[in-house]
Structure formats: C-alpha cells, structure tokens
Amino acid sequence: MAIEKKLLEMYRDPSLDVKPKLLEQRGGAYYSEAAAQLIASLHAGTGDDQVVDIRNDGAIPDLPADAVVEVPARIGREGARPGRFSPLAPEMLGLVQQVKAYERLTVKAAIHGDRSAALKALLANPLVGRYSVATGLLNALVEANRKHLSRFFPKD
C-alpha cells in the first residue's frame, strides 16, 4: 500500500515521462504495459481483443450477469465487450460459483461491517472452508486491518 501511495503521488506530476523504478517493487509484471495498451485501444477504438475484468453479462453462461469475470473482450471507443463462451464443465462451474459466492460475501461484509457475512465468505473460500480455521482467520484479519475496516468496529 505504501508503494501504491508513492506511485500515485508520482503520477500526479505531469512532467513524469518515464516508468518509475518503484513499479519493479510492486509486482504484477507487465501490468503497466497491459494498462497502457488498454488505454490506447480505448482511445483509438482499435477493436482488438484483450483480457480484462468485466461485467459478465452472459459471457459465461450460468453466472450472474453482474458477476465480474476475467475474459477476452473486444476493446473499442465505447468500452470493452466480452466474448461469448461455452458453458463451463460442471466441475469447473461449481468452483467458479463457489469463488463468486466468496467474492460477493466479502464485498457485503466490507460494505456493511458484517462479521457474519465475512465468516460465510471465508467458509465459502475453497482455500479455507473449515469453521475452526475461518473464525481464527477472520479475527486476525479484521484486527490486523482495523484502521481500514472501521465498519467492523462500531463507535461506542
């Protein structure tokens, strides 16, 4: 987060015309190149295909329209339009639906400071899934991120 904050400060400088070395410490190799290509395609309306995070809107059958999916999309001046894909195989669909449930519950928990939703999110996460792990993890995560999660700590 400190690196992101410093980068945002640097990007406010209109004279910045080189890629900051600080980007190398952030991770996400080639993210800058992908972002620049996306911006160029949006501006020029090239109609090329790029992999982006986008509203599903039927791209992947059996997922809600408002689910965010990472898929190839056609990029033009009007924005990104996702391709259309075959239905996922049952074993993959179940996993994707489980992860989408985790994501939705996480957002609900963050917006409302809802510990019950946060616990359900951890239980839905395929990497956690056990109540004994989820409860300890939830307490540790909320406490470690207390300054960012004020909604979990109502004022007395």
Q: What DSSP designation does 113 have?
A: T
Rounded Cα–Cα distance for residues 119 and 124 (Å): 9
pLDDT number for residue 135:
96
Nearest to 105 by CA among 131, 125, 86: 125
Helices vs strands, H then E, count in the chain: 6, 3
User: Which whole number is the average pLDDT over 125-146?
Assistant: 94
The percent of residues above 70 in pLDDT, for the chain, comes to: 98
51-60, pLDDT tens digit by residue? 999 999 999 9
Instruction: Dig out the tokens for 74 from the structure.
Output: 């056609």
Pairing of strands 48-55, 68-76: antiparallel
> Which residues, including other chains, have CB under 8 Å from residue 81's CB and lie 6 or more apart?
73, 74
More confident residue, 71 or 33: 71
Nearest to 79 by CA among 53, 101, 58, 97: 53
User: Which whole number is the average pLDDT over 79-92?
Assistant: 95
Residue 82 has pLDDT above 60, yes or no: yes
* Structural Rg of the chain based on CA atoms: 19
When mean pLDDT is compared across 15-24, 43-52, 112-121, 122-131, the lowest value belongs to 15-24
Instruction: Dig out the tokens for 143 from the structure.
Output: 């406490």
pLDDT number for residue 29:
67
Residue 57 φ/ψ, nearest 5 degrees: 45, 45
Rounded Cα–Cα distance for residues 38 and 82 (Å): 14
Helix (H, G, I), strand (E, B) or coil at 49: strand
Residue 35 has pLDDT above 90, yes or no: no
- E runs forming strands in 1-156: 48-55, 68-76, 79-82
